Chains A and B, each alone.
Chain A
């Protein structure tokens, strides 16, 4: 960008206006130099809409790669753009061509009948069984609770609960059979249901994710991808989930990630080994993921879990 039109000549500027950059002050000229590594530094100055001077430093590294191509291909390299993009500058057009921000990996499919596949199928079946069992328990508990209170339909239970929360006198059981739209029949999200049922219900909710075997990794270098993390952390045991936090707009890594292990012991060992480990010129910080405030499940992790493997 040329800045000839920006400066009005330094000599004519009033010294009183010298305490900050403004339109009258001439901006430093554009600087350009190439350092020993072949990186081109360009320093440009401009004035933004708030009348502040902005210094923009652009670093460019140019590498040359030669590739042998046929004559036809070589000729086509020099073709100019035409049609919709006629007259556009060489290179990708913004909004038309882009490199995917997301790393897409091929999902390898192991053919059915392999022992590995069978194993994981078994595991899945087992997990399903567990869930079924827990659901049954949950339902049984609710039934018990309802019976204890002498409620015989859901709408009645809801209105009772709502009344208990608001501290008002609830509607009597007799007039609550009008249906779901009855007085005080406010909607209660599933996670809050049974909140007044007693202390023993805490931590049993099906809807809560179990974060006990999850570690939080911070100070992750921006160039690290999910695949890199998986490669590094899978050394300690099977991983359930990897999440690398990214900026929603630019897709750049925000420098921290969560790794959910299957086993708490694996997570413990991982923290022992990797906290303070130098990875890609930065020192990783690995700690237990903090569950959300007040979420049931916060107390699930056994107290001795993080000592596993340390003794």
Chain B
């Protein structure tokens, strides 16, 4: 396969995410400019200019009409996806590390970092298509986090949400009351990323303890564990196969001390059931910070510490292969 190389960012990538249909690819990096790309051609469609710090993540509404970004400039911003116009800005006292729309797009969730003397918190704001009813004040604030939450996952049923944190904790919260239902610590180091399976019955977490784990959403039990030699920065589950994609590599501070090959900068594909690795894709010059399967499972995108986004569409051999 010949991947598309997207060089729009000048700093390490923080998140890559497809919209629901998979025709748009949103990328955020530490360079203040979230970018949207056409997924089929790799054409840059636009950038969202206005943040004044690293952008940690993004989420979009069901119809992709609005984009939400959270940044280290302490703000969460709401954008018109088509024009790049900023619609609203919520300001906090510490960087926004994770951001998400609730299913149905009625709530905006922003998780702030435990930094600058502030506690890690999760803010809930009302959101509606009509901008007049978008509230600048939070309707609910969740405390009680020991460390910064790195990702917020709303369950598709909207009844609860899952947060993963730098303290290796996976937490389940009641969406209605904001009570903490459960805390599970099965990773040994901080969790860098969490993504749903296509149905929401499972999710996968990627941790600095060199493992990725697939969890059962309801019981918060670990079903599968995938172990590699380097910290895992991101993991994604294929919507069509029993495949898990892991992206990671040596920490950025140690990259210069090792060669390209030793750094393990490859995207690694594992069989979900057998927990065995079956394929690798090389290409990045640094650790892979974020990965995502396309919603149709025919390809994946990876964003690296090297500032490159590589968009891959699998060869026919990937689909023809017998994995069992």
Contact = CB atoms under 8 A, between A and B. Distances in A.
B185 to A, nearest CB: 30
A199 interface: no
Contact of B43 (A82, A91, A95): A91
B84 interface: yes
Bin chain B's interface residue count. 35 or more
A90 B266 CA distance: 32
Contacts of A107: 266, 279-282
Contact of B5 (A69, A86, A91, A97): A97
Nearest to B268: A109
A86 B46 contact: yes
Contacts of B317: 106
Interface in A84-116: 84-86, 90-93, 95-109, 111
A113 B208 CA distance: 28
Contacts of A100: 2-5, 283, 310
B83 interface: yes
Given A83-B84, A105-B315, A106-B279, A99 B23 contact: no
A111 B279 contact: no
Given A70-B21, A96-B8, A104-B1, A109 B41 contact: no
Interface string B18-36: 0001011000000001010
Contact of B46 (A85, A98, A101, A111): A85
Nearest to B22: A73
A104 B41 CA distance: 18
B4 to A, nearest CB: 6
Given A90-B43, A96-B8, A99-B2, A104 B278 contact: no
Contacts of B5: 97-100
B46 A81 contact: yes
A83 B70 CA distance: 18
Contacts of B314: 106
Contacts of A101: 2
Interface string B26-55: 000000010101000111111111000000
Nearest to B1: A104
A108 B49 CA distance: 41
Interface residues of A, number: 32
Given A107-B279, A109-B279, A73 B21 contact: yes
B315 A106 contact: yes
A92 B43 CA distance: 5
B276 interface: yes
B6 A83 contact: no
A95 B7 contact: yes
Chain A contact residues: helix, strand, loop or mixed: loop
B63 interface: yes
A102 B281 CA distance: 13
A99 B41 CA distance: 9
A81 B37 CA distance: 10
B241 interface: no
A81 to B, nearest CB: 6
B281 A104 contact: yes
B48 A83 contact: yes
Q: Which of B46, B63, B64, B310 has the most CB of A within 10 A?
A: B46
A91 B41 CA distance: 8
B277 A93 contact: no
Contacts of A82: 45-47, 82-84
B181 to A, nearest CB: 35
A81 B45 contact: yes
A76 interface: yes
Nearest to A111: B276
Interface in A142-195: none
B46 A69 contact: no
B7 to A, nearest CB: 6
Contacts of A108: 278-279, 321
A160 B7 CA distance: 56
A99 B7 CA distance: 11
Nearest to B7: A96
Given A76-B24, A99-B2, A103-B1, 20 more contacts: A69-B23, A79-B46, A83-B46, A83-B47, A84-B35, A85-B46, A86-B46, A92-B42, A92-B44, A97-B7, A98-B42, A100-B310, A102-B2, A104-B281, A104-B283, A105-B1, A107-B279, A107-B282, A109-B277, A111-B276
Interface of A: 69-70, 72-73, 76, 79, 81-86, 90-93, 95-109, 111
A-B pairs with lowest CB-CB distance, top 7 = A83-B47, A82-B46, A82-B84, A97-B42, A83-B46, A84-B47, A83-B84
